[in-house]
Amino acid sequence: MSDTLGTGRLRGRRILITGAASGIGKATAHLFAAEGAALTLLDRNADALAAVARDTGGHACAADITDEASVARAVEQGAAAMGGIDGLVNAAGIMKRGSVLEVDVAEWRRVLDINLTGTYIVVRCCLPWLMKASNATIVNLGSGQSLLPNAPERTAYSASKGGVLNLTRALAAELAPAGIRANTICPGLVDTPMAEGVQGNFGNYALRRLAQPVEIANAILFLTSPESSYVTGSALAVDGGRSFH
């Protein structure tokens, strides 16, 4: 189990986390385990995922989120292991840097396929379980680029994360009658492998530093916990002041 101190805020919850082998997804898995949640962890990196599962007591399911059949199998396994699913965190994603002329259509499609379509597939596969649960939650990972897409060489990434933001808003409206809340976290630069090569590019951040993955995980925890029971359709900027500075 995680050695992070917790207060049991997610005791009894059954939560599926994608992208759980590293970065924000891994930090979220450790935090949620410490807060008492049962976990199903998805990632393409089976070896790294197994290590996180051992540390958190989670159920590891190696899966490609762009493959609906793969995701459906993982979700069924996770639901069986946990006795259902009442929370989802979509943290899996990639970033492709390059100008419009440098990023070809195949690379563009890959970014959208993973970041946007992959998020949709996971939600779709989890939804039958979420609809059976009480007070179910969905938290999708957008980006500061969802709110202010002004960083150079991020066109494909910005488009995909802007899509995640509006997908989540549409889900919030559609699923509210079923009691399911859906929200987006919009991080700025985070100290993860995805930020390699751009760690020093935070001059337009009010706090003048990168975030640590656990800082984003704490925001995800808030939107998954009962403390945010009247919050749905929101886009929470966790970006060190990037979106207003």
Per the listing, tokens 């997908």 go with 167
Q: What is the pLDDT of residue 199?
A: 64
Q: What is the pLDDT of residue 245?
A: 67
Per the listing, tokens 């949640």 go with 37
Q: What is the pLDDT of residues 51-68, one digit of tens each?
A: 999 999 999 999 999 999
Q: What is the pLDDT of residue 23?
A: 97
Q: What is the pLDDT of residue 14?
A: 98
Shortest CA distance to 89 belongs to which of 38, 25, 147? 25
Q: What is the pLDDT of residue 89?
A: 99
Please say if the pLDDT value at position 84 is more than 50: yes
Q: What is the pLDDT of residues 72-81, one digit of tens each?
A: 999 999 999 9
Q: Which CATH superfamily is domain 14-238 in?
A: NAD(P)-binding Rossmann-like Domain (3.40.50.720)
The tokens for 163 are 């899509």
Task: Specify the higher pLDDT residue, 203 or 49.
Answer: 49
Please say if the pLDDT value at position 129 is more than 60: yes
Please say if the pLDDT value at position 198 is more than 80: no
Shortest CA distance to 78 belongs to which of 96, 53, 114? 53
The tokens for 242 are 């990037």
CA–CA gap between residue 76 and residue 12 (Å, rounded): 19
Whole-number Cα distances in Å, 118 to 10, 80, 208: 25, 22, 32
pTM above 0.85, yes or no: yes
The percent of residues above 90 in pLDDT, for the chain, comes to 88
Among the residue ranges 1-5, 42-46, 131-135, the one predicted with the least confidence is 1-5
| Model confidence band, residue 4 (pLDDT cutoffs 50, 70, 90) | low
Residues annotated as catalytic (active site), given as ranges: 157
Please say if the pLDDT value at position 1 is more than 70: no
Q: What is the pLDDT of residue 196?
A: 74
Q: What is the pLDDT of residues 138-183, one digit of tens each?
A: 999 999 999 999 888 999 999 999 999 999 999 999 999 999 999 9
Q: What is the pLDDT of residues 87-123, one digit of tens each?
A: 999 999 999 999 999 999 999 999 999 999 999 999 9
| Model confidence band, residue 2 (pLDDT cutoffs 50, 70, 90) | very low
